[in-house]
Amino acid sequence: MRLALENDPQVLSVRGYAPGLIDVAGQLVRAPCILSAERLITDWPVRSAAELDEAALAPILALRPTLVLIGTDSAAAQQAGGGLRRSVQARGVALEIMDLGAACRTFNVLVQERREVVAGLFP
């Protein structure tokens, strides 16, 4: 799906997504990645959302977000986030796990609002 917004050119955003692919500011990403307003990290060693734990979230939390979005099409990962959510919230950070499309759209809106959001995306 192609996303079209009036975007601030200084802020990274998701331009589109499809199964196995995310377009971040014109760069096509085919593997799990971390995205903030200023950085795209493509060497995240987590291969699937099912692998998410505190150690896997460490590079995301190092960017000091107030909100973490995880975008995945894995229904099991979306439902299994309870313990991880509590652990992250204990650090004062909100964690939301949702389908990839919702995460991409939500990230774009929040980043344009200058919110401190970081997304972990699984194409």
- Domains in the chain, ordered, with CATH? 14-121 (3.40.1230.10)
| Residue 111 or 6, more confident | 111
Q: What is the pTM of this model?
A: 0.89
Please give the average per-residue pLDDT across 74-100, as a whole number: 82
pLDDT tens profile 12-65? 999 999 989 999 999 999 999 999 999 999 999 999 888 899 999 999 999 999
**What is the length of the chain?**
123
